[in-house]
Amino acid sequence: MSTLEELPLSVEFAVSGMTCGACAARIQDRLNKIDGVEASVNYATETATVRTRFGIQTDELIQAVEEAGYGAALREADAPVGATEEEFAENLQALRNRLVTCALLTAPVFFFSMFESMQFQNWQWWALVFSAPVVTWGAWPFHRAAVMNLRHRATTMDTLISIGVVAAVAWSVWALLWGDAASSYGSMAGMSGMSHGSYHVYFEVAATVTVFILAGRYLEARAKRSAGNALRALLALGAHTAVVLENGVEREVDAKNLQVNDIIVVRPGEKIATDGVVIEGDSSIDMSMLTGESVPVDVVVGDAVTGATINLTGRLKVRVSRVGADTTFAHMAKLVREAQATKAPVQKLADKVSSIFVPVVLLISLVTLIAWFVVDGDATKAFTAAVAVLIIACPCALGLATPTALMVGSGRGAQLGIVIKGVDVLQSTRRIDTVVFDKTGTVTTGVMQLRNVVCAEGIERGDALRIIGALELASEHPIARAIAIAAQKEFGTLPDVQEFVSLTGMGARGVVEGVSVIVGHERLLQKELILIPGPLRTALADARAEGNTAVIAAWGGSARAVCVVADQPKSTSKEAIATLRAMGLAPVLLTGDNQATAMAIALQVGIEADDYHVRGGVLPDEKVAVIRELQDRGYAVAMVGDGVNDAAALAQADVGIAMGTGTDVAMQASDLTIVSGDIRLVADAIALSRATLRTIGANVFWAFAYNAAAIPLAASGKLNPMWAGLAMACSSVFVVMNSLRLRRVKLRHR
DSSP string, 615-664: E-S--HHHHHHHHHHHHHTT--EEEEE-SGGGHHHHHHSSEEEEETTS-H
Q: Which helix (H) or strand (E) holds 553?
A: strand 549-555
The full DSSP string for 115-132 is -GGG--TTHHHHHHHHHH
CB 626 within 8 A of CB 590: yes
DSSP three-state, residue 373: helix
Pairing of strands 434-438, 637-641: parallel
Query: Measured between alpha carbons, how far is 603 from 609 in angstroms, rounded to an integer?
Result: 6
Fill in the DSSP letter of residue 482: H
Burial of 337-369, coded b for 16+ CB within 10 Å and e otherwise, reads: bbbbbebbbbebbbbebbeebbeebbebbeebb
Burial class of residue 592 (count of CB atoms within 10 Å of its CB; 0-12, 13-18, 19+): buried
| 157-178 and 123-133 helices, crossing angle to 10° | 150
CB 289 within 8 A of CB 295: no
**Residue 326 falls in the annotated catalytic set:** no
* C-alpha 50 chain-centroid distance: 22
Query: Measured between alpha carbons, how far is 649 from 547 in angstroms, rounded to an integer?
Result: 24
Q: What is the pLDDT of residue 216?
A: 65
Backbone angles phi, psi at 643, to 5 degrees: -110, 170
Residues 6+ apart with CB under 8 A from 657: 638, 639, 640, 641, 650, 670, 671, 672, 673, 674, 682, 685
* Amino acid residing at 531: L
CA dist 148 → 5, 23, 25, 630 (Å)? 30, 11, 16, 41
Residues 6+ apart with CB under 8 A from 642: 292, 438, 440, 441, 442, 446, 658, 659, 661, 662, 663, 666, 677
Q: What is the pLDDT of residue 638?
A: 92
Backbone angles phi, psi at 719, to 5 degrees: -145, 105
Mean pLDDT split into 10-residue runs, the chain, 750 residues: 47 77 74 82 73 72 83 65 61 87 88 71 82 91 82 71 80 77 48 44 78 72 53 67 89 89 92 92 79 70 87 90 81 56 43 65 86 79 74 63 70 72 69 89 84 92 93 86 92 91 83 92 87 91 83 92 89 91 92 80 90 84 88 92 78 84 61 78 86 82 77 77 59 76 71
- Cα angle 577, 582, 586 (rounded to 5 degrees) comes to 60
Around Cβ 416, how many Cβ atoms within 10 Å? 18
Query: Measured between alpha carbons, how far is 708 from 95 in angstroms, rounded to an integer?
Result: 32
Q: What is the pLDDT of residue 181?
A: 61
Backbone angles phi, psi at 6, to 5 degrees: -70, 145
Query: Measured between alpha carbons, how far is 486 from 505 in angstroms, rounded to an integer?
Result: 23
DSSP three-state, residue 550: strand
Query: Measured between alpha carbons, how far is 560 from 676 in angstroms, rounded to an integer?
Result: 41
Query: Measured between alpha carbons, how far is 610 from 635 in angstroms, rounded to an integer?
Result: 18
Burial of 130-143, coded b for 16+ CB within 10 Å and e otherwise, reads: bbbebbeebbebbb
Around Cβ 729, how many Cβ atoms within 10 Å? 17
| 349-376 and 157-178 helices, crossing angle to 10° | 30
SS3 content of the chain, % helix, strand, coil (to 5): 50, 20, 30
**First and final CA of the chain: distance in angstroms?**
56
Q: Which helix (H) or strand (E) holds 235?
A: helix 226-236
- Cite the beta strand spans of 17-108 per DSSP E: 37-42, 47-52, 71-74
Burial of 492-509, coded b for 16+ CB within 10 Å and e otherwise, reads: eebbebeebebbbbbbbb
Query: Measured between alpha carbons, how far is 176 from 529 in angstroms, rounded to an integer?
Result: 104
Q: What is the pLDDT of residue 707?
A: 72
DSSP three-state, residue 451: strand
Catalytic residue among 275, 282, 286, 438: 438
* Amino acid residing at 123: W
Fill in the DSSP letter of residue 671: S
